[in-house]
Structure 1
Amino acid sequence: MTTGTIETSSTQRAGWRAWAALAVLMLPVLLVSIDNTILNFALPAIAQDLEPTSAEQLWIIDAYSLVLAGLLVTMGSFGDRFGRRRLLLTGAVGFTIVSVLAVFAPTAGWLIAARAAMGLFGATLMPSTMSLLRSIFPERNQRRIAVAVWAGMFSAGGALGPIVGGFLMEHFPWQSVFLLAVPMLVLMLVLAPIFVTESRDPHPGAIDGWSILLSMLALGPVAYGIKEVAVHGVAGGLPVVVGAIFGWLFVRRQLRMAHPMLDMSLFRRAGFSGSLGVNLLSVIAIVGFLYFVSQHLQMIVGLSPMVAGLALLPGALTSIAGGFIVTPIARRVRASIVIPCALVLSVAAYLIVAFVGAHDVGMLVLGFALLGAGVGAAETVSGELILANAPAAKAGAASAVSETAYELGAVLGTSVLGGILTWWYRTHLVVPDGVPAELAGHAEETLAGAMNAADALGGPTGQALRDAAAAAFDGGVTATSLIGAGLVVIAMVVAAITLGGRRESATH
């Protein structure tokens, strides 16, 4: 495999309209990334209102990412064929409409369906934003800065989700988190036709319905199966096997086609495949962290949603700063060195939580700040390598693969790390004597159920249940943190091995 880029040198530098276009494209990037994590802070209020089961709680979080992951490759290819800006605008209209419908969800099932529909339209937004960067910024150094902005906004959006969610929960009902999309996307619909130029593959080839179907049948079941394994154990892994079979059929078909929907030769390039692995593992780490820290700060420490969100503000800022700081360094130092060095900060973050303890809010804030800095820097470098290793005409499909890694990472962060945490909580919770059976059942389901039951009981028994639930949950946080640190170490190894070729030239 080779780590060199396949693009040719270009001296064409973008002007002010390109930077204005970048600002416009950051609106959907921020929205989609915020949407990945904003419900973590709204989840306690949703749980009290709609009373979902523990499985439904995970589905409320995951339905969006599962559908989005299953459709990204297809939508990225559609963007290459029909126009990336056109697809972006179409998705913005649909996302806005569905977000308004989610406001009126009377049941958990309705909300899950709305989140799935958001995933459908979200799949049209993200590949378009990154692939448009490839055509808007043909000059390599400018594109490094643009990708740093993209990665910074994506990481910051994930970190800002709890902050925005906390503010909204402090002042408005939980339904308000879905109305956030409306002003952002309406503004983008006005400005994008003015500043963002259209781009597409000049030789897209014929639409292959079988490739589209196989990609959806591969990615959707795999993402769903991973979630089921996290909740139900190995018995839930059949969808993963089914998805893997369809994935094999998809790859086989692409290799035999003269004009494939996805150029499989991209995966033979270490700069492309290695960067995908880094992105996947990094997103797992940061989303998994947010899953447990948001619940701990609100339900155990007792912070209001707004204050809990502000406690994570340093992590949002460091994720942005990490991307910009690493950009000039990446011009001179190999990615195989830069990325592992950046991710040392993320490993330290998880170890701080594991060994110092989740009960110390200051350590949680420090941990998230270190995690954000490491992931922000690593994703900036790896994201630019993905674009640099793809031909401009196939930027949409390549970006879609990159986004699939991001979204699968979001699913895995919630499902695997969240699933392990849920398992630990359930197996280690000791319900005190005197708790009625019905309330004990709620307490054994989720941390939110335990805190609601404790509030209903009151007195010494309620406090005993609250303490038992906190101890079980924080014990799970320690175990989950050690696993998170291990995943980041794997990302460091992947980067060191696969991105170990020559330094990328700044003239490309």
Structure 2
Amino acid sequence: MNVFETSGRRADRATRREWIGLAIIALPCILYAMDLTVLNLAVPSLSANLKPTAAQLLWIVDIYGFLAAGSLLIMGALGDRIGRRKLLLIGSACFGILSLIAAFARSAEMLILARALLGIAGATMAPSTLSLISNMFRDDHERTFAVSVWVASFSFGGAIGPVVGGLLLSHFWWGAVFLVPIPITALLLMVGPVLLPEHKTQNAGRLDIVSAVLSLAAALPIVFGIKLMAEGGSLGWATSTIALGLVLGVVFIRRQMGLPDPLLDLRLFKRPAVAVALGINVLDFFVGFGILVLVAQYLQLVLGLTPLEAGLWSIPAGLGFIVGSLLTSAVLRLMRPAYVLGFGLTLAAGGLALMAHAAETHGLILIVLGNVLFSIGSAPGITIVADLVVSAAPKERSGAASALSETASEFGGALGIALLGSLATLLYRSTLSVTLPTGIPVDMMETALRGLGAASSLAPSLDSGGALLSAARSAYTGAADVTFLTAAGIMLAAAIVAVGMLRRPET
């Protein structure tokens, strides 16, 4: 049976307990997204205070999502064994404690470590919540709607995160943004044990820690090498680390093929629709996360908005994502998933092209409108892929299947921040290096080349600060323009693949 067709069995309908549980499940999803978006607004003030290098700043921003991606598979399998609710509550408690530590970090290295551990704790949330949904909602249409709400809750967290972060940053230091998750975590720990059901797999197989370590060991060198290339580092060292990551990735895949109870269930990829949908999901998150920091810095450092103003102007995009997510269930009753995906991704590509135009013309309204169109268009793909992957897996493997869907999302998001962020950094450096005003000391010149935030903090201390800031903003604008257009091309290609590969229903 197609996952988007109704079963027609009234016995599968959810009760009031399941719908209340869905509201509780939304809490950690909101928490997870808020923690990401509030950091984006804090990047300029964080850069001025901790003075991270360009590499450290990229690690501060994306190591959270990247280690979350590396940990998702093991957390999904662990939830199947010890219980999805138990894992969710343990992870949430750790998340609250680590958020407090991150808030009072006194160096870039300390913040990177705290963010890394937050990523591991955050990895418990998405697969636990999605697998709970797959067990709580048996009716196909109800499950699709529940997954839409699940996706929308991330969007809601992303929408209110900038506002909350902007308010905090206008009155407190940058670390205050990390205090936001603590009250949400406390509420979840109080009501979760009472209102959430527990689900776990009986007689589950052995948890393979080696596979989890291999997946993380394969991913980190690849991203490190890409960042090193973008920052003008040693080409030989960058190539070597990327090659190491690829080799370890092959070892990881081969190990999964020989395990009776693998972390990554490769049997799911025997269904072409699942494999293609996961690939599209990676691209969707690659672009979505990749432009987050770009937009936040453009609004503040190029257009000159305060953190609060930037947060307020980010709300429409978050609301657009919520609307797109909640409309997915209704639209799927009228159109095949392939056409919903294709139309949505094309709309997202159009939004990105509009943002590229707006970046060059410094049009705030057009930037916001393009971001809204992108959000509405990219939202359905996340719901469709999550529902498809979880529905394709046996119920006893729902945690691992949820982790597979979320791993694709998180890995795509982390790579998007790394690759699109590195592309923007590379373009910025190459342009600014030839447009820098004369008379700037060599050490300060290198500081300005680290990023627009570093150049903005340096400008007031120089006689030629105005010229430096103008050149840096111009370089960043050009970098943003090209990066937005690149992202638009990726989304358009994904739309073509979606319609071409998924329009024929599987048997």
Find the aligned partners of 1:228 and 1:427 in 2 and give their Cα distance. 15
Q: How does 1:427-442 map to 2 (within 5 A)?
A: 427-429=430-432, 430-442=435-447
1:426 and 1:317, CA in 2 relative to 1: closer, same or farther beyond 3 A?
Answer: same
Q: How does 1:7-86 map to 2 (within 5 A)?
A: 11=10, 12-86=12-86
Please state how far the C-alpha of 1:4 moved relative to its aligned partner: 6.4
Choose which of 479, 486, 492 in structure 2 pairs with 1:489: 492
Q: Match for residue 193 of structure 2?
A: 193
Find the aligned partners of 2:213 and 2:380 in 1 and give their Cα distance. 35
Q: Match for residue 462 of structure 2?
A: 457
Confirm or deny: 8 A CA contact 2:287 2:416 kept in the other structure: yes
Q: Match for residue 343 of structure 1?
A: 345
Q: Match for residue 444 of structure 1?
A: 449
Q: Match for residue 92 of structure 1?
A: 92
Please state how far the C-alpha of 1:114 moved relative to its aligned partner: 0.4
Q: Match for residue 103 of structure 1?
A: 103
Q: Match for residue 275 of structure 1?
A: 277
Q: Deviations over 1:117-154 (max 9, x none)?
A: 10111111221111111001111111111110111122
Find the aligned partners of 1:268 and 1:278 in 2 and give their Cα distance. 16
**What secondary structure sits across from 1:312 in the alignment?**
helix
Q: Match for residue 333 of structure 1?
A: 335
Confirm or deny: 8 A CA contact 1:162 1:294 kept in the other structure: no
1:6 and 1:224, CA in 2 relative to 1: closer, same or farther beyond 3 A?
Answer: farther
Q: How does 1:459-478 map to 2 (within 5 A)?
A: 461-478=464-481
Confirm or deny: 8 A CA contact 2:60 2:111 kept in the other structure: yes
Q: Deviations over 1:434-453 (max 9, x none)?
A: 43444333222211121122
Find the aligned partners of 1:142 and 1:335 in 2 and give their Cα distance. 16
Q: Give the TM-score taking structure 1 as reference length.
A: 0.93
Confirm or deny: 8 A CA contact 1:6 1:391 kept in the other structure: no
Q: Give the TM-score taking structure 2 as reference length.
A: 0.93
AA matched with 2:26: M
Please state how far the C-alpha of 1:479 moved relative to its aligned partner: 0.8
**What secondary structure sits across from 2:142 in the alignment?**
helix
Question: Which stretch of the first structure deviates more once superposed, 237-246 or 57-66?
Answer: 237-246
Confirm or deny: 8 A CA contact 1:3 1:271 kept in the other structure: no
Find the aligned partners of 2:105 and 2:69 in 1 and give their Cα distance. 23
**What secondary structure sits across from 2:174 in the alignment?**
coil
1:253 and 1:289, CA in 2 relative to 1: closer, same or farther beyond 3 A?
Answer: closer
Find the aligned partners of 2:208 and 2:506 in 1 and give their Cα distance. 38
Q: How does 1:168-179 map to 2 (within 5 A)?
A: 168-179=168-179
Please state how far the C-alpha of 1:302 moved relative to its aligned partner: 1.1
Identity %: 38
Q: Match for residue 387 of structure 1?
A: 390
Find the aligned partners of 1:42 and 1:443 in 2 and give their Cα distance. 19
1:140 and 1:222, CA in 2 relative to 1: closer, same or farther beyond 3 A?
Answer: farther
Q: Match for residue 247 of structure 1?
A: 249
Q: How does 1:280-359 map to 2 (within 5 A)?
A: 280-358=282-360, 359=362
Number of equivalences: 501
Please state how far the C-alpha of 1:487 moved relative to its aligned partner: 1.2
Q: How does 1:121-270 map to 2 (within 5 A)?
A: 121-232=121-232, 235=236, 236-270=238-272
1:378 and 1:187, CA in 2 relative to 1: closer, same or farther beyond 3 A?
Answer: same
Confirm or deny: 8 A CA contact 1:271 1:386 kept in the other structure: no
Please state how far the C-alpha of 1:230 moved relative to its aligned partner: 4.3
Please state how far the C-alpha of 1:222 moved relative to its aligned partner: 4.1
Find the aligned partners of 1:232 and 1:335 in 2 and give their Cα distance. 43
Please state how far the C-alpha of 1:9 moved relative to its aligned partner: 7.5
1:181 and 1:307, CA in 2 relative to 1: closer, same or farther beyond 3 A?
Answer: same
Confirm or deny: 8 A CA contact 1:80 1:204 kept in the other structure: yes
Q: Deviations over 1:384-412 (max 9, x none)?
A: 22222222111111111111112112212
Please state how far the C-alpha of 1:321 moved relative to its aligned partner: 0.3
1:229 and 1:402, CA in 2 relative to 1: closer, same or farther beyond 3 A?
Answer: farther
AA matched with 2:175: Q
Please state how far the C-alpha of 1:257 moved relative to its aligned partner: 3.0
Q: Please state if 1:396 is matched with 2:403.
A: no
Confirm or deny: 8 A CA contact 1:283 1:413 kept in the other structure: yes
1:6 and 1:317, CA in 2 relative to 1: closer, same or farther beyond 3 A?
Answer: closer
AA matched with 2:49: D
Find the aligned partners of 1:177 and 1:244 in 2 and give their Cα distance. 36
Find the aligned partners of 1:475 and 1:207 in 2 and give their Cα distance. 48
Confirm or deny: 8 A CA contact 2:459 2:468 kept in the other structure: yes
**What secondary structure sits across from 1:175 in the alignment?**
helix
Find the aligned partners of 2:306 and 2:262 in 1 and give their Cα distance. 51
Q: Which runs of 5+ in 2 are unaligned?
A: none
Find the aligned partners of 1:431 and 1:352 in 2 and give their Cα distance. 29
Please state how far the C-alpha of 1:224 moved relative to its aligned partner: 4.1
Q: Deviations over 1:24-64 (max 9, x none)?
A: 11111111122223211101111111111111111111221
1:488 and 1:433, CA in 2 relative to 1: closer, same or farther beyond 3 A?
Answer: same
CA-atom RMSD, angstroms?
Answer: 2.3
Find the aligned partners of 1:284 and 1:167 in 2 and give their Cα distance. 28
AA matched with 2:430: T
Please state how far the C-alpha of 1:10 moved relative to its aligned partner: 5.1
1:4 and 1:240, CA in 2 relative to 1: closer, same or farther beyond 3 A?
Answer: farther
Q: Deviations over 1:239-275 (max 9, x none)?
A: 3433333332333233233333332110111232222
**What secondary structure sits across from 2:123 in the alignment?**
helix
1:179 and 1:424, CA in 2 relative to 1: closer, same or farther beyond 3 A?
Answer: same
1:360 and 1:128, CA in 2 relative to 1: closer, same or farther beyond 3 A?
Answer: same
1:385 and 1:223, CA in 2 relative to 1: closer, same or farther beyond 3 A?
Answer: farther
Q: Which runs of 5+ in 1 are unaligned?
A: none
Please state how far the C-alpha of 1:97 moved relative to its aligned partner: 1.0
